[in-house]
């Protein structure tokens, strides 16, 4: 699942621009950043979350956390390795 502080409309447009995606997208737009705040990744200075990846297993246990500055790109190989572990 992908979660973003963007609106549902922006997420829909982004997914269509990519030609569709294979996982659900959820909007954390209102109340703005509530999920990001709950996970401790909301950057209050800029009003949006830091780029964050959480791998959560089927029991809801967080197995991996990767937090980046907004312009940094996460290492997809590392994320895929973490997903393969669960």
| pLDDT given at position 71 | 86
Q: Which helix (H) or strand (E) holds 8?
A: helix 8-17
Q: Is 43 exposed, middle or buried (0-12, 13-18, 19+ CB in 10 A)?
A: middle
Pairing of strands 25-27, 2-4: parallel
| pLDDT given at position 69 | 85
- pLDDT tens column, 24-82: 999 999 999 999 999 999 999 999 999 999 999 999 999 999 999 888 988 999 999 99
Judged against a pLDDT cut of 90, whether residue 12 lies above it is answered with yes
Q: Is the peptide bond before 58 cis (omega within 30 degrees of 0)?
A: no
Domain range list for the chain: 1-46, 50-86
| pLDDT given at position 70 | 82
| pLDDT given at position 64 | 95
Q: CB count, 10 Å around CB of 33?
A: 19
Contact predicate 86/78, CB 8 Å: no
Residue 83 sits at φ, ψ, to 5 deg, of: -65, -40
């Amino acid at each position: 699942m992908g979660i973003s502080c963007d609106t549902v409309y922006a997420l829909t447009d982004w997914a269509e621009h990519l030609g569709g995606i294979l996982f659900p997208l959820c909007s954390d737009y209102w109340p703005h950043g509530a999920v990001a705040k709950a996970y401790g990744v909301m950057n209050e200075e800029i009003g949006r979350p830091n780029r964050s990846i959480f791998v959560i297993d089927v029991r809801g246990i967080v197995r991996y956390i990767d937090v980046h500055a907004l312009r940094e790109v996460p290492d997809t190989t590392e994320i895929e390795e973490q997903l393969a572990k669960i």
